[in-house]
Every structure is written in C-alpha cells, then in structure tokens.
Amino acid sequence: MSKRYLLVAACAAAMLASPVPNGAREATAAPGKRTIYMAAVEPKGGVTADKEMFPTEAMPEGGGYVLKKPDSTGRWEVSTYRWDPGTVIVNQGDEVTLEIIGINGKEHSIAIEGHDVSGAVKRGHVTRLKFTAGKVGIYKIICASHLPSMQGELVVLAAR
C-alpha cells in the first residue's frame, strides 16, 4: 500500500473515532447531497540559473510535471498540474456533485475509478460531474493528460 493511501485511511479512521457532540457522527454519516468545489491548477515557480542551478534529472513522463530550460536571461521554471482539493471524502450513498473550474491548462480529462464518471475540464469553464458514491473505498481521480501528478482521491466512507 502507498504511504498516501495509509495516511488517508488513518485520517478517515481518526475522524470517525473522534468524539462528536450530540450524535453528530451519525447525522453526518447518513447519505445526503454533497457539492464539492474543485479547481484544476498549475502551481509553478522559477528562478535564474545564477541563483539556482537548473536540474539535470529528467522529470517523470506523462505531462504532469513541466521543466522549462533557462531562457536567454537564464530564467528557468518548473510546474505541475493538480486537482485542488486533492482528496474528496464522502459517505456511501451520497449524491455527489463535483463542481470543477478549469484555471490552468487548456483542457483536463477527468475520470474517477470505480465510478462511471468522466468528463473534460476546460479553462474558464465550470464542469459539473454528478454521481452516487458507491462501494466503500479509495478511488483515484485522474487527468490522463497530466500524469503522474494530476491525481486525487475519492474516499467513500461507510454509511451508518
């Protein structure tokens, strides 16, 4: 199992085990309607080669990481694509709407493993994906154009 999977599972277990007032845990675990607001973003940074050497290691393949060589002024940049937030937690049976705005990148394909959910997120547009959270588990939210970095996780908790 990946470290990320273990971290998400531990956080979910801690949330369920934490004391909550007046039976709120049971109330929030019942299936309901959820709208989660997300964004397709591209964090980036840059510097001139006289301040920091340009990296010599190749970036992982897949389009998720971009490393631009120094230009005529010596400036180089690095960027990556991400879903924000990267982890979405819902209850089994929830009617979920992901409302995703495209901020960076012309277009991002989106698919959620284990659910029949897919679409395209375009810069300047809001994409709404609606589905019912199915089987309990952790499922990848993937942009196939920007792997490996543009992956999130849908965590489906057991309904009570």
pTM of the model: 0.78
Distance between CA atoms of 61 and 46, rounded to whole angstroms?
20
Peptide bond into 148 cis (omega under 30): yes
- Tell me the CA distances in angstroms from 109 to 80, 103, 105, 123, 145, one per residue in order: 16, 14, 11, 12, 7
Q: At 115, list the tokens.
A: 């659910």
Query: Residue 18: what pLDDT?
Result: 47
Query: Residue 144: what pLDDT?
Result: 95
Query: Residue 1: what pLDDT?
Result: 52
- Tell me the CA distances in angstroms from 81 to 13, 25, 27, 99, one per residue in order: 29, 34, 36, 18
Give the pairing type, strands 95-102 and 82-84.
unpaired
Vertex 83 angle, CA 151 and 106, to 5°: 100
Query: Residue 10: what pLDDT?
Result: 52
* Mean pLDDT in order along the chain per 10 residues (160 residues): 52 49 49 95 97 95 95 97 98 97 95 96 98 97 96 94
Query: Residue 30: what pLDDT?
Result: 72
Report, in angstroms and rounded to the nearest whole number, the Rg of the chain calculated over CA atoms: 19
Chain Cα centroid distance, residue 77: 23
Query: Residue 21: what pLDDT?
Result: 44
Domains and CATH numbers, the chain: 3-42+81-157 (2.60.40.420), 44-79 (no CATH)
